[in-house]
Amino acid sequence: MILSVLVTVEKAEFSFLKEKTNATDGNLGAHLKKLEDAEYILTEKKFVDRKPVSFYSITENGRKAVENYINTIEKLFRKDE
């Protein structure tokens, strides 16, 4: 779900991803860490109005993973194969 959101934007804040995925802070944080460890996303931390804000963007590896997933799902639904 996170990658499907990130593939549609240049980058997204933690709060945006939380809203789009309906995840709790802890659950989303754990998933983001796993995606970062897999090199599917990049994390950028900044201060905005003196508050820490985390931004996330999808990497080329992440885009390929989404593409492979979509291709696999499409193959499951094709009737000519």
> How does pLDDT run across 16-66, given as a tens digit for each residue?
999 999 999 999 999 999 999 999 999 999 998 999 999 999 999 999 999
> How many degrees, rounded to 5, is the angle at CA 71 between CA 55 and CA 77?
125
| pLDDT at 68 > cutoff 90 | yes
By CB neighbour count within 10 A (0-12 exposed, 13-18 middle, 19+ buried), where does 50 fall? exposed
Domain ranges of the chain: 2-77
Binning pLDDT at 50, 70 and 90, where does residue 80 land? low
pLDDT at 78: 86
Q: Which helix (H) or strand (E) holds 34?
A: helix 25-37
| pLDDT at 69 > cutoff 90 | yes
Amino acid code (one letter) for 46: K
Report the chain's terminal Cα–Cα distance, integer Å.
28
Q: Angle, nearest 10°, between helix axes 25-37 and 14-21?
A: 110
Range 2-77 has CATH code 3.60.150.10: no
pLDDT at 81: 56
